[in-house]
Amino acid sequence: MPIIRKTIGLLLGISAIGGFIVGVWMGLVRLGWSLGFPPSIGAHGPLLVLAVLGTLIGAERAVALGKSWVWIGPMASGLAVVTIVAGVSVSVSAFLLVVAGGVLIGVFTSVYLSHPATHIAVMGVGAAAFIASAIVLSLGVAIPRVIPLLAAFLVITITGERLELAHLGVGRAGTIWFVTSIVLVGVGSIVAAAGIGSGARLTGAAFVSLALWLGRYDIARRTVRLKGATRYMAVSLLVGYAWLGIAGLLWLYLGLQPGGQGYDTGVHAVFLGFVMSMIFGHAIIVVPVFTSLSFPYHTVMWLPLVFLHGSLVFRAYGDLTLSFEIKDWGGMLNAVALGLFAAVALGTVLRANLGHSAS
């Protein structure tokens, strides 16, 4: 059984990495770069958010829970990566993603029944946003209307995990603040999917509220004073929270109008500024869990982190000033930052583990 699980994990990893590369390629072509003809270019967001990150989150839960049935979820989303890239019918990919989301809800339900906790219920709501996104997409709803739901899945899931770590210092008032914000994210994203413009604004207001909550209660406020890996992780988190707040302000003020000023920034402030910063910061913890390989902190890891956020500021400047060439180059530099992080991570892991084997 351990061999089977490792094999499944390897295949899922290959699927996620391949899907991520294709998703970034799609994004660059959507910006206007002449880089060939990636498949299913309109599926850029769903591929990266639901299929790729859904696979990674599902696999993380499968490893944590240690039950065989949980692997059905990431296997379904991993297959969804393949079907989306292959251009198979949207209904097939949507069905696979609904299955993946259903298993994820099953995971949080199972855990909640054993250990009732607010953060578990919150992450279950994130899984519900996952399923809702897949269903809405299968109905042919335009991607811009689904973006708040896609964002809700990741934002609710990630902040639910942060609530777990911060719960001792939150208190009743802080918990009410947090839960109210999560409810508003859910309601706003559903309203947006229904085609009502105020939905994105409501979701944006909730993002601002969550960013302020994280700035007030998250343990990164204290751990950023430490050194080494702890400070690196804390900075990754805090900068990500800032981008979530920026995204929220833009959604609240501009309403997330496709093709309009600030739309590109509003979207990528969430998915690159917030979500990818979380991934950069947690990689040194998550990679060993998935692969059993050592991933020690190294100061060179600051380079892709700074490059990511610097290039996102550059991209945002181009978008907000309607300087489209700057915005496009910002998108290209975002891709370079992601590639740089992958190279640094791979080099660090290989150096640490090959050196260990040699000794």
Domain spans of the chain? 1-116
| Dist CA 98 CA 9 (whole Å) | 20
Report whether pLDDT(242) > 90.
Answer: yes
Mark residue 18 as left, alpha or beta (left: phi above 0; alpha: psi -120 to 50; beta: remaining).
alpha
SS3 sequence, 39-106? CCHHHHHHHHHHHHHHHHHHHHHHHHHCCHHHHHHHHHHHHHHHHHHHCCCHHHHHHHHHHHHHHHHH
Vertex 339: Cα angle to 335 and 345 (nearest 5): 145
Confidence tier at 358 by pLDDT (50, 70, 90): very low
Q: Is the pLDDT of residue 230 over 60?
A: yes
**Mean pLDDT over residues 202-226, rounded?**
95
Residue-wise pLDDT tens digits, 282-314: 999 888 877 778 899 999 999 999 999 999 999
What tens digit of pLDDT does each residue of 51-84 get?
999 999 999 898 888 888 999 999 999 999 999 9
Least confident piece of the model among 63-72, 155-164, 243-252: 63-72
Q: How many residues are given for the chain? A: 359
Residues 315-325 have pLDDT tens digits of: 999 999 999 99
DSSP H or E run through 207? helix 198-217
Q: Distance between CA atoms of 166 and 161, rounded to whole angstroms? A: 9
Cα 12 from Cα 20, distance rounded (Å): 12
Q: Model's pTM, two decimal places?
A: 0.94
The Cα 162–Cα 124 span in angstroms is: 14
CA atoms within 13 A on the CB side of 192: 32
